[in-house]
Amino acid sequence: MNRSRSTMRAGKTVVVTALMGIVAALGASAPAAWGAPATATPPWAVAPAGTYHYRQVSPAANPAPTGTVVVAAAGAGVQLWTRSFGAQAAVSTSAISYKSSGIYALAQSEQLSGTTLACSFAAPPAVLPSPPTAGLTFSGHGACTSAATLTVSGAVAGNVMLSFNGQSVSTVLVSSTSVMSVSVLGITYQVDVTEVDWYLPTLPIPLQTAIHVAIPSQKSTSDSEFVLQSITQP
- Per-residue pLDDT band for 94 (boundaries 50, 70, 90) equals very high
Number of alpha carbons in the 13 Å side-chain half-sphere of residue 40: 1
Average pLDDT over residues 58-63: 84
- Per-residue pLDDT band for 42 (boundaries 50, 70, 90) equals low
d(CA 6, CA 13): 6
Q: What is the pLDDT of residues 120-170, one digit of tens each?
A: 999 999 999 988 899 999 999 999 998 899 999 999 999 999 888 778 888
- Per-residue pLDDT band for 90 (boundaries 50, 70, 90) equals low
The residue that leads in pLDDT, 41 or 167, is 167
Strand partners, 189: 182
Q: Please state the domain count of the chain.
A: 1
User: How many other C-beta atoms lie within 10 A of the C-beta of residue 51?
Assistant: 18
Average pLDDT over residues 218-231: 89
Query: Against a cut of 0.85, is the pTM above it?
Result: no
The answer on pLDDT for 7 being more than 60 is: no
Average pLDDT over residues 222-226: 91
Select from 13, 9, 5 the least CA-distant residue to 231: 13
- What DSSP string runs through 24-78? HHHTPPPPS-TTSPPS--PSPPPPPSEEEEEEEEES--SSPPEEEEEEEEEETTE
d(CA 193, CA 88): 9
Residues of the domain holding 92? 3-233
The burial of 185, by beta-carbon neighbours within 10 Å (0-12 exposed, 13-18 middle, 19 or more buried), is given as: exposed
| Backbone φ and ψ of 75, nearest 5° | 90, 160
The answer on pLDDT for 33 being more than 80 is: no
What is the rounded average pLDDT for all residues in the chain? 81
- Per-residue pLDDT band for 88 (boundaries 50, 70, 90) equals low
d(CA 40, CA 133): 8
Select from 37, 33, 17, 34 the least CA-distant residue to 25: 17
pLDDT of amino acid 127: 93
